[in-house]
């Protein structure tokens, strides 16, 4: 739950069939280590990294390789969000059936096309579009 280990839970996405472990741990960290009062960030807020991890994770994505790698899919805490990317481009995120119990990804799609793996490229995101998570309580 603290930098420099933010990326570790997302590494489950690289193991076939193990994304559910990422989802469980991301939700647990967000629920237990971040809260909306003084001291609500679980570590040293170096230049906003702790908050950036939470915001990206709440959106359901995290860029493990900050030098331009794909974004790993986690377990969004939001039901919907709009991120204005500039140049009139918008990233729309929807998490269907999202709840504290439904933390696992049944599926994810980008602009109506199902993603085969739990990743989305920065090249896709920066063009804007719609990322839809279908959430479930089943691993």
- Which residues on neighbouring strands pair with residue 91, listed in sequence order? 83, 129
Specify whether the CB–CB gap between 49 and 55 falls below 8 A. no
Q: Taking all residues of the chain, what is their mean pLDDT, rounded to a whole number?
A: 91
- Tell me 86's DSSP state: E
Looking at residue 103, its pLDDT comes to 98
CA distance 28 to 9: 11
Check: CB of residue 28 under 8 Å from CB of residue 21: no
Check residue 46 and give its pLDDT: 67
Question: For 56-98, how does the pLDDT look when each residue is reduced to its tens digit (9 = 90+)?
Answer: 999 999 999 878 789 999 999 999 999 999 999 999 999 999 9
Q: What is the pLDDT of residue 45?
A: 66
Q: What is the pLDDT of residue 35?
A: 82
For residue 25, pLDDT beyond 90: yes
> CA-CA distance, 6 to 126, in Å (whole number)?
22
């Amino acid at each position: 739950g603290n930098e420099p280990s933010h990326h570790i839970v997302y590494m489950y996405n690289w193991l076939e069939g193990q994304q559910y472990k990422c989802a469980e741990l991301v939700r647990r960290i967000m629920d237990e280590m971040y809260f909306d009062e003084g001291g609500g960030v679980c570590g040293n807020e170096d230049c906003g990294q702790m908050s950036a991890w939470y915001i990206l994770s709440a959106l359901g994505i995290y860029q493990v390789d900050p030098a331009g790698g794909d974004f790993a899919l986690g377990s969004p805490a939001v039901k919907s969000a709009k991120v204005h990317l500039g140049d009139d481009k918008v990233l729309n995120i929807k998490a269907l059936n999202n709840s504290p119990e439904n933390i696992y990804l049944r599926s994810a799609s980008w602009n109506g096309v199902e993603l085969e793996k739990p990743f989305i490229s920065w090249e896709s995101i920066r063009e804007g579009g719609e990322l839809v998570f279908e959430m479930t309580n089943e691993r």
